Amino acid sequence: MSLVPLLLVLVSQAAQVGGQVLLKKGMTPAQSKRRKRVVALQLGAGVGLLTVWFLLWMNLHEKMELSYLFPFQGISPVLLVIAAAFLLKERTHWRTWAGIALISLGTVLVALSEKQGV
Amino acid sequence: MAFMHGIRGHGRSRHPKASRKPGHPPTQWYLNPNLHVAINCILMTVAEICLQLGAKDASQVDVPKWLAWTGLRDFVSGWTIAGVVVYICAFANWLYVLRWLPLSVAYPITSATQVLIAISAWIFLHEHLSFLRCIAILLICCGIVLSSKPAANAEEKL
């Protein structure tokens, strides 16, 4: 994979993770008028980042084979749980990490089955 | 839009069964956040299939290079527009899920979409489901079951 598509894949995944974290922050209860403005900003920025992810991902779907693109989808749960642990201070259970490892492995296997036709 | 009332109301609903402690999910079965995670997976599967059909349609249309680069070319297909509409419904549903479940629990469960897409393609499009893909689906299912275990106690204290 050349550098530009790899960069686009990484930017798209980062945009997805950033968008989801901002949406989660925005969905906390609003308590005052000022807080509501912050919520609106967080939700707006989240939607913006997810739009960037969506357009980049559609573009990558056209340019690259699904079997090459799909494994990168497998890293998004890992990145997201790391972001949730550090940015949202969510407590992550060991089962979550074990589950994510299996999901990511399964996603890579889906891509391999597509590539090898087995 | 009953769930929107739940979001705005924060436990102030007049429904007798809706009374709950602030920060706890509504008690009605149709407002259960885990049910809405499942609905989200189904909506995402439908949207992905529509977008895939739309991308195939749109790849045969000539447009300026800059427009093709943005991915906006796909909007010439009705399938893409249908996919985006379903995505918007999934997004509204996802906001409700995020209100009640931690991101680190809810997001991994949505990987069920990959399993649903593979099974849908096998049932409706008669695509071949290989042995390796069956193993992959099994792994993803195990991962989802493991990840979703903490969801049982995931009523956040907000």
Interatomic CA distance for residues A67 and B104, integer angstroms: 26
Whether this prediction's pTM lies above 0.80 is answered by no
SS (H, E, C) chain B: CHHHHHHHHCCCCCCHHHCCCCCCCCCCHHHCHHHHHHHHHHHHHHHHHHHHHHHHHHCCCCCCHHHHHHCHHHHHCHHHHHHHHHHHHHHHHHHHHHHHCCHHHHHHHCCHHHHHHHHHHHHHCCCCCCHHHHHHHHHHHHHHHHHHHHHHHCCCCC
Per-residue pLDDT at B11: 41
* Residue range(s) defining the domain that contains residue A107: 3-116
pLDDT 10s digits, B80-109? 899 989 989 999 999 999 988 888 888 888
Domain count, chain A: 1
pLDDT interval class at B35 (50, 70, 90): very high
ipTM for the whole complex: 0.78
* Segment A29-58 mean pLDDT: 82
Block residue for tokens 């195939």: B56
* Residue range(s) defining the domain that contains residue B123: 32-153
Domain count, chain B: 1
Per-residue pLDDT at B3: 37
Per-residue pLDDT at B18: 46
Q: Are the CB atoms for B154 and B24 separated by under 8 Å?
A: no
> Is B2 a domain residue?
no
pLDDT 10s digits, B101-139? 888 888 888 888 878 887 887 776 677 778 888 888 888
Nearest Cα to B77, choosing from B49, B56, B47, B62?
A: B56
Closest residue to B99, CB basis, from A27, A116, A118: A27
Within 8 A of A19 by CB-CB distance, chain B residues are none
Interatomic CA distance for residues A90 and B105, integer angstroms: 10
3-state helix, strand, coil in chain A (%, to 5): 85, 0, 15
* Segment A79-99 mean pLDDT: 86
Q: Are the CB atoms for B88 and A80 separated by under 8 Å?
A: no
Per-residue pLDDT at B7: 38
Please, what is the average pLDDT of chain B? 75
Within 8 A of B11 by CB-CB distance, chain A residues are none
Query: What is the distance, to the nearest Å, from the Cα of residue B11 to the centroid of all Cα atoms in its chain?
Result: 25
Within 8 A of B104 by CB-CB distance, chain A residues are 80-81, 84-85, 88, 90, 92, 96
